[in-house]
Structure 1
Amino acid sequence: MKSATWSNCRAAIPKTGFCSSDSFMRYETTPSSAIGRGKLAIHDEARDKKIWGLAMPESPGIVHPMKSALRSKVGATAALALALAAALPGRSQDAQSTEPAPREQIPQARVPDGDGFKNDPGYLSEEVTFKAGAVTSKAYLALPKNKAQGPFAGVLISPEWWGHNDYVRMRADMLAKLGYAALAMDLYGDGQKAHDPQTAIKLDGGLKGNQKEMAARVLAHLKFLAARPEVDDNKIAAIGYGSGGDVCLQMARNGMRGLDGVVAFHPFFTVVPSQPPIRRATARVMVCDAREDPYVHLRKGKVEAFRKEMARVKTDLTMIDFPNAMQSFTVPGANRVGEKFRIPQAYNQEADTRAWGLLRGFLQDLWAPAGEAAESPPAARRQ
């Protein structure tokens, strides 16, 4: 099977800025030990079992077994979660997340050594603490191993509604291996995590219910990353997963300065209108959407409204619709957690692989010099 590229996708996008992922060549699904352009390596199977408590799905395109039943009825636990969330200020019933809870046993975080960094193959990692709005952020910074090759382009990562867990750190590590300085944000403060939907709804609702405070926390993370000597403060982007994708979309809608690009994976489109309405959004935006997400595509009006608003302010928007993908399609272990809490979600290895390849192309294209093909991270091009 021939691999797709970011350029293939961009060329296939009509003027509306929408691109269905089945309208262009698909990424090859490769073993998790391989990595390369258009290919995704999360971890090897042994490490997957250690981290997530189960092996990766045996085949790509896996569909949650509850899918057909959920078309007519949402599980009792999910319904309870929706009802609880509806009671939160600033949160409507159709704005609820359905992301996977972290595994029941969470390994201890990395312990810094020496100058504050711990060496791992291909990257360095550091626990960082700083003030973010009204809370203290306990974030996680991952850098390319050879710091002398910097400064590096920076990427903020907004976590799912479960908070700052090992999944968001894993994504930071993956970006560092590609040559980026990645900061996994802690938007709840004090490293808080949720282990069940009710707690996640409370934490996420508290964050989204105060947009001014949320913006202050996000901005603090952006400023922290930009101030690092290893980071090129003129090259910063943000990505987010699920509810964290909504945070990133809100950053773009509000025209947050200092951001070149924003990528949201399976967001819920529960962003609130910017006040006052923005006249111009400078960040380039890409959305990797899940076609089978019942909470998004039963509310197509939200997706269309977002697309129209981005068109009104002339935003460079790319929306990619992934067929056979449900909420949390980028998260290994989503199936097990979905079954446990009766939440409609599922990991899709093929969609995850393709979405990661598109992210790589997006970031490379974002900072590529005029007329230069984006084939490597910024730091590598400067060698």
Structure 2
Amino acid sequence: MRTLLGFALAIAAAGPAAAGVQTKDVEYTYEGVTFKGQLAWDDATAGKRPGVLVVHEWWGLDDYAKMRAHELAKLGYVAFACDMYGVGKLAKHPEDAGKMATEVRNNVAVWQGRAKAALKVLADDEHVDASKLAAMGYCFGGSTALELAYSGADLKAVVTFHAALPTPTPEQAKAIKAKILVCHGADDKFIKQESIDKFKAALADAKVDLKFEAYPGAVHSFTVKGADAHMLPGMAYNAEADKKSWQAMQDLFAETLGGKK
């Protein structure tokens, strides 16, 4: 958690005039609800570049999602850490996080609609090549990235990290345009094998390009260094799985978006 605090302080201290990676808060609306996300880009890079939508965990848009967007900006992408709950909605207790995530998931049209509204913010940014877009997310955010793909969004790639894997309908699966990378903890007890099997079968039937990576010894939230602080059984950081999954994401983005490996 100290690492995330240090990141936030460093960004605040840097200010809008600092060289290198820049950040900007952006407010947008969907069906009367106001959201606030954060764009990140490297102003040392000239011209338009690929855009990556980053979707937060079930806690809401916190420093972790913003940190990942910052890392993507350093790799040469424009990243938008979006907000799926609304301005100021951030949970610290799992019960509150679960309620907020469930409220969104219970209405697929709203779930997808909010994700598409965020993708539009990214695509419309002056630094972005809107023909090269991807989405990625963590836990709830990974499921959201998949729902965005199910909506037929014009994405080149989708990457999930320790996400639930909602099964698309046959029509939704056929609407997927992106190559899909699932980064999964092989020992994640939160995601049932039945769900994994149904997800894989649905994508296979629609001939979707899917790569499923399961990391031995990794459990839920394996990419989040602060996961252990929540004291929830089955959630823990795994440095090796974190490193390997981030590299797998970079490889896919290099292939589909023309970015760095």
Q: Please report the TM-score for the alignment, with normalisation by the length of structure 2.
A: 0.92
Distance 1:52 1:258, change over 3 A: same
Structure 1 unaligned spans of 5+: 1-47, 54-105, 369-373, 378-383
Deviation digits for residues 97-121 of structure 1 (CA, Å, limit 9, x no counterpart): xxxxxxxxx96896699xxx72456
Distance 1:306 1:275, change over 3 A: closer
Structure 1: how far apart are the matches of 2:105 and 2:117?
Answer: 16
Name the % identity. Answer: 33
Deviation digits for residues 230-270 of structure 1 (CA, Å, limit 9, x no counterpart): 1000000000001111111222233x22211100001122x
Deviation digits for residues 14-35 of structure 1 (CA, Å, limit 9, x no counterpart): xxxxxxxxxxxxxxxxxxxxxx
**Structure 2 match to 1:363:** 253
Structure 2: how far apart are the matches of 1:202 and 1:143?
Answer: 32
Deviation digits for residues 163-214 of structure 1 (CA, Å, limit 9, x no counterpart): 0000000000000001000000101011411010111011001111111111
**Structure 2 match to 1:216:** 113
The one-letter amino acid paired with 2:221 is S
Distance 1:169 1:318, change over 3 A: same
**Structure 2 match to 1:34:** none
The one-letter amino acid paired with 1:327 is H
Higher helix share: 2
Larger radius of gyration: 1
Aligned counterpart for 1:290 among listed residues 176, 179, 185: 185
Aligned to 1:118, the other structure's residue is in SS state coil
The one-letter amino acid paired with 2:248 is L
The 5 A counterparts of 1:1-383 are 49=2, 51=4, 118-120=16-18, 122-147=20-45, 149-254=46-151, 256-269=152-165, 271=166, 273-274=168-169, 276-296=171-191, 299-337=192-230, 339=231, 342-368=232-258, 376=260
CA contact (8 A) 1:139 1:191 kept: no
Structure 2: how far apart are the matches of 1:330 and 1:363?
Answer: 18
Distance 1:274 1:322, change over 3 A: same
CA contact (8 A) 1:155 1:237 kept: yes
Give 1:150 shift.
2.0
The one-letter amino acid paired with 1:231 is V
What is the alpha-carbon root mean square deviation over aligned residues? 2.4
Aligned to 1:162, the other structure's residue is in SS state coil
Aligned to 1:189, the other structure's residue is in SS state coil
Distance 1:182 1:277, change over 3 A: closer
Structure 1: how far apart are the matches of 2:172 and 2:254?
Answer: 30
Structure 2: how far apart are the matches of 1:360 and 1:222?
Answer: 20
Give 1:278 shift.
4.2
Give 1:152 shift.
1.0
Structure 2: how far apart are the matches of 1:193 and 1:315?
Answer: 34
Structure 1: how far apart are the matches of 2:82 and 2:10?
Answer: 15
The one-letter amino acid paired with 1:214 is W
Structure 2 unaligned spans of 5+: none
Structure 1: how far apart are the matches of 2:233 and 2:5?
Answer: 18
Aligned to 2:190, the other structure's residue is in SS state helix
